[in-house]
Amino acid sequence: MPMMQEMGKAQRGSRSAVAGQGSSGKKKSSAPAALIDIADTLYRTAAESCSEHRRYADLVERSVADSEQKSARLAVRACDEALDEAADLYEVACLKESNHADDAWWHRANMVWRAAKEFLRHHASSDKMTRGAGSHGRAELLELTIEYKLEASAILRLRHTIDAYREVRPEAAPE
């Protein structure tokens, strides 16, 4: 999967940047390049996750065959796992590097990170609630409805932060 390969490259790049060396073994003059690469990975991974969620919703709305919906669900799950990994990688990288307060991309990447974490939290919560045993009573259905609305709001916010990041880093956009 391209996203997983991209994350692997960003992780390898961040390890060598943290060590102060590029892949050639020479000293790197600019360690912040690693953080911006990780931010770009987070952005592209978030964009792919939103795209796959949209694709799956379209398939469900059109009532396509169960087998196609199943493969789309698997793609969504893989993208969400990649998004979770990218968000964690970005968080760790930011803890090591915190000198970007004047960089617009850093503020926008932080927005993407926060929105991704919020979306993943609501998504996991609604998944857990729907997998609950047996039938749901009125209170549980109301709670589930609210959680679905919060999840929908969170993915919309994630889409907005992706658009905001693209404004300051158009070169990071997926091809």
Largest CA distance in the chain: 64
What's the CA gap between 131 and 113, in Å, rounded?
27
- Mean pLDDT over 104-110 rounds to 94
pLDDT score recorded for residue 131: 80
pLDDT, position 28: 37
**pLDDT the model gives residue 133:** 56
Residue 80 near residue 123, CB atoms below 8 Å:
yes
pLDDT of 30 strictly over 80: no
In the structure, what pLDDT confidence band is assigned to residue 161 with cuts at 50, 70 and 90?
A: very high
- pTM of the entire predicted model: 0.77
Q: What percent of the chain has pLDDT over 90?
A: 61
pLDDT score for 91: 95
The 10s digit of each residue's pLDDT in 49-90 is: 999 999 999 999 999 999 999 999 999 999 999 999 999 999
Residue 41 has pLDDT above 70, yes or no: yes
In this predicted model, what pLDDT tens digit does every residue of 117-158 receive, in sequence order? 999 999 998 888 888 656 778 888 888 889 889 999 999 999
Q: What backbone torsions phi and psi does residue 143 show, to the nearest 5 degrees? A: -65, -40
Structure tokens at 31: 């360690």
Q: Indicate the average pLDDT of the chain.
A: 82
Distance CA 149, CA 43 (A): 23
Q: Does the structure show a pLDDT above 90 at 166?
A: yes
User: In the chain, how many H helices and how many E strands?
Assistant: 5, 0
User: Which residue from 56, 109, 63 is spatially nearest to 86, judged by alpha carbons?
Assistant: 109
Per-residue pLDDT at 8: 46
Contacts of 3 (CB under 8 A, 6+ apart): 44, 45, 48, 78, 79, 82
Contact 44, 172 (CB under 8 A): yes
